[in-house]
Amino acid sequence: MRLALSKKPRFEPGTGQKYTNTTYTLALLLIEKVTGRSYAEEMKRRILRPLGLTGTLVPGDRTNLPGPLWRRLPAQR
């Protein structure tokens, strides 16, 4: 966050848009600070389990997909 906030804005508020992950990073840090639990734990506890999303993963620091992925995909018709 320090790095993101140290940069000068690319445009005036309301005059442009550029996608970054900064907002997601801020949300993750806020969730961890407020709850005292990791983002992954809170996603599982509050969203994934209640909705029955058993095949959904919270990536965290993972940079690859768990395998074999094809076993989790529905059959192609």
Q: What is the pLDDT of residue 54?
A: 84
Q: What angle do CA 19, 24, 28 make, to 5 degrees?
A: 170
pLDDT in tens, 11-59: 898 999 888 888 888 899 999 999 999 999 999 999 999 999 988 888 7
Q: Are 10 and 16 in contact (CB under 8 A)?
A: yes
> CA-CA distances (angstroms) from residue 27 to 5, 24, 42?
15, 5, 12
DSSP 68: -
Is 48 in contact with 58 (CB distance < 8 Å)? yes
Indicate whether this model's pTM tops 0.75: no
